[in-house]
Amino acid sequence: MVEGQGPYGAIDDGAVLIRDGDIAFAGPRADLPDHEAAQTDQMGGRWVTPGLIDCHTHLVFGGNRSGEFEQRLGGATYEQIAQAGGGIVSTVAATRAASEDDLYASALRRLAGLKASGVTTVEIKSGYGLDRDTELRMLRVARRIGHEAGVRVRTSYLGLHAVPPEHRADRVTYVDLAVDDILPAAHAEGLVDAVDAYCEPIAFSTAEVARLFDRAAALGLPVKLHADQLSDGGGAALAGRYRALSADHVEHTTEAGVRAMAEAGVAAVLLPGAYLMLRETTVPPVELFRTHGVRMAVATDCNPGTSPVASMTAALNLACVQFRLTPEEALAGATRNAAQALGLSDRIGTIEAGKRADLAVWDIQRPAELAYWLGAPLLHARYLRGQPS
């Protein structure tokens, strides 16, 4: 599957030549250049796609929130649970209590589901520490996963995720800490690829997020944003103003916000798992994104509270069923558009010469099956930089 070659970018009887972990050739097998192959892997007529990219996860955390799941089934809203001391803050307590090894081990269990669904690149956020030591610990675990667990990792600092309990009466002090202390420390340690924030009335204002984004810009870091998930708080417009990599959730984004994203080249990251678990009813403005040329990525939002989803193919299915994406749009959302949402379009996301040889091989008859089956084991093999992983 190569971008720009018809539906799904498909090439029948194709070949991929890999050299030193990068793609040296991709196209019809008849056009394969002369070469000496140290190894040849026959795919037996299977479909080969770029390795899937999960561009929005909270993979590293302590504990779980199955009790809150029961509360929501009983009628409690996300906002009510958060205001009562649950939600993100409850995961903060469990994460602070966990060691680095504990966080690593639990993250690997969730990562196994993503890898089994064809994921070769995963974004991992902090945001469940909300103090210097734990935020840095989470980011170190994310880096360790990238070094040891057979997957490419991009990290995002999400210090403005929630106000921790010890600062509830003095949120200004916490914003100062997150912006002026924790972020510079994480950056100095080489732990941050991008900076994220949660922009909602129950979280942080556009003014508070702008302070964080200004500091990120001073450090030379790109930004992304949890935007307009529960209400139209101007998050998409803010993402456009800062030329963010992506605005994520975006269920309540207006046409003005969509235009701002389009003008700034901001990707929309759709998170159907959270939409399902929260039983939301307002879908993202998919038709507006199509009209204005905003690229739509799809991700699991794997997290303990609102999207305990650890399968990328499940996310593709939900994006089609709930948001009416086509299967082709969904697959693009987990490959080339997800690469854009991470600022990695020059390295991954399509099968073409010069890019990393991150590939997924599937036991399917047609690519729509990747969004059709819900829970079926479809993956035959994963390749990371040309090596089975």
317 is in an annotated binding site: no
Residue 147 is labelled as binding a ligand: no
Whole-number Å distance between alpha carbons of 186 and 127: 13
190 labelled ligand-binding: no
To the question of whether residue 300 is assigned a binding role by annotation, the answer is no
Q: How far apart are CA 384 and CA 90, in angstroms?
A: 35
Number of residues written out for the chain: 389
CB-based burial label for 381 (10 Å; 0-12, 13-18, 19+): middle
Distances (CA, A) of 8 to 12, 107, 281: 11, 32, 30
In this structure, the number of other CB atoms found within 10 A of the CB of residue 126 comes to: 30
Contacts of 260 (CB under 8 A, 6+ apart): 236, 237, 239, 240, 241, 266
| Phi and psi angles of residue 117, each rounded to the nearest 5 degrees, phi first | -100, 20
Contact between 101 and 137 under an 8 Å Cβ cutoff? The reply is: no
The total of other beta-carbon atoms located within 10 Å of residue 51's CB is 27
42 is in an annotated binding site: no
Q: 161 labelled as ligand-binding?
A: yes
Query: Torsion-angle region of residue 130: left (phi > 0), alpha (psi -120 to 50) or beta?
Result: left
CB 338 within 8 A of CB 300: no
Query: Does the annotation flag 173 for ligand binding?
Result: no
Which of these, 179, 193, 196, lies nearest to 58 by C-alpha position?
196
305's tokens: 């509270």
322 labelled binding-site residue: no
56 annotated as belonging to a binding site for a ligand: yes
Per the CB < 8 A criterion, the answer to whether 340 and 304 are in contact is: no
Contact 362, 380 (CB under 8 A): yes
Residue numbering of the annotated binding site for Fe(3+): 56, 58, 226, 301
Residues in binding site for N-formimidoyl-L-glutamate: 128, 303, 305
Which residues fall in the annotated binding site? Answer: 56, 58, 65, 128, 161, 226, 229, 301, 303, 305-306
Binding-site residue set for Zn(2+):
56, 58, 226, 301
The binding site for 4-imidazolone-5-propanoate comprises 65, 128, 161, 229, 306
